[in-house]
């Protein structure tokens, strides 16, 4: 129905029913759902007697449906960023990407409450949960170090194509909690989750040190 309205423009129930080969009742039921979701709008047709007649057309939100090819675009853009030859320029781009991700999530260091890394990590986890990313915070490991555990990856397609995004995410968490962070467990290595341990000062890879993607092979999982 959305595709039909996109091609034909405004249509009435009488127009939609034969075009879709369903009953007028079925058309009205689907139109009601689309109206509730803000994907279409209704206009009363003037100059007709009897039962009011309406025409339905897509809203701006409805016109965007079906055009979300952001996965492909993100993979291509990420590959191009990682392919920049100058290390200083590449590090600068990756740093700005991390800051941009934090901004999109509504995060900045000033907005993360807490006096300790554990408390601040809790603020990061709360923001991730608001984005439907299952995660939790707990002290564990050597000396009870605070650990952020994520059970779903925010960027699964990018992570499988190039693990540099994992390092960018770690760098973002470091900036927000104000302390060193180490990716101590990763789903790409067969783990059940990803764990970011705060307070580890050894074995931390800089964002720019993740393996470079190969440009002669397709962007697909290398796990």
3-state SS class at 3: helix
pLDDT higher than threshold 50 for residue 206: no
The reply to whether 16 and 81 lie within a common domain is no
Looking at the domain assignment, is residue 145 inside a domain? yes
The reply to whether 74 and 58 lie within a common domain is no
Looking at the domain assignment, is residue 217 inside a domain? no
> Residue 118, Cβ neighbours under 10 Å: how many?
20
> Residue 163, Cβ neighbours under 10 Å: how many?
20
Instruction: Select from 64, 86, 116 the last residue of a domain.
Output: 64
Looking at the domain assignment, is residue 92 inside a domain? yes
Q: What CATH code is carried by the domain that includes residue 29?
A: 1.10.10.10
pLDDT higher than threshold 60 for residue 120: yes
Task: Note the pLDDT tens digit of each residue in 84-117.
Answer: 899 889 888 877 877 777 676 665 555 676 777 7
Instruction: Write out 126-143 in H/E/C secondary structure.
Output: HHHHHCCCCEEEEEECHH
Outline where DSSP puts E strands in 45-193: 54-58, 135-140, 145-150, 181-185
Alpha-carbon span 71 to 140, nearest angstrom: 35
Looking at the domain assignment, is residue 223 inside a domain? no
Q: How many domains does the chain contain in total?
A: 2
pLDDT higher than threshold 70 for residue 213: no
Task: Note the pLDDT tens digit of each residue in 59-92.
Answer: 988 887 766 566 777 788 888 888 889 988 988 8
pLDDT higher than threshold 90 for residue 40: yes
The reply to whether 50 and 90 lie within a common domain is no
The reply to whether 93 and 6 lie within a common domain is no
Instruction: Select from 15, 45, 64 the last residue of a domain.
Output: 64
Range of the domain at 82: 70-209
The reply to whether 205 and 123 lie within a common domain is yes
The reply to whether 140 and 199 lie within a common domain is yes
Looking at the domain assignment, is residue 219 inside a domain? no
When comparing pLDDT for 34 and 211, which is higher? 34
């Amino acid at each position: 129905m959305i595709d039909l309205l996109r091609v034909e423009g405004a249509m009435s129930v009488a127009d939609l029913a034969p075009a879709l080969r369903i009953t007028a009742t079925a058309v009205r039921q689907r139109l009601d759902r689309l109206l509730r979701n803000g994907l279409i709008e209704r206009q009363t047709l003037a100059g007709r007697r009897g039962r009011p007649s309406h025409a339905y057309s897509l809203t701006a939100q409805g016109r965007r449906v079906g055009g979300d090819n952001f996965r492909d675009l993100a993979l291509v853009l990420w590959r191009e960023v990682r392919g920049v030859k100058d290390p200083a320029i590449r590090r600068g781009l990756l740093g700005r990407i991390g800051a941009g991700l934090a901004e999109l999530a509504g995060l900045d260091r000033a907005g993360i409450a807490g006096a300790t890394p554990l408390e601040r990590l809790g603020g990061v986890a709360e923001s991730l949960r608001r984005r439907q990313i299952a995660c939790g915070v707990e002290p564990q490991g050597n000396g009870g170090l605070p650990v952020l555990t994520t059970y779903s990856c925010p960027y699964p397609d990018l992570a499988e194509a190039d693990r540099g995004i994992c390092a960018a995410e770690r760098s973002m968490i470091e900036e927000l909690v104000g302390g060193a962070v180490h990716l101590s467990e990763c789903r790409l290595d067969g783990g059940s989750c990803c764990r970011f341990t705060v307070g580890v000062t050894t074995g931390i890879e800089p964002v720019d040190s993740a393996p470079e993607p190969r440009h002669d092979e397709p962007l697909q999982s290398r796990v």
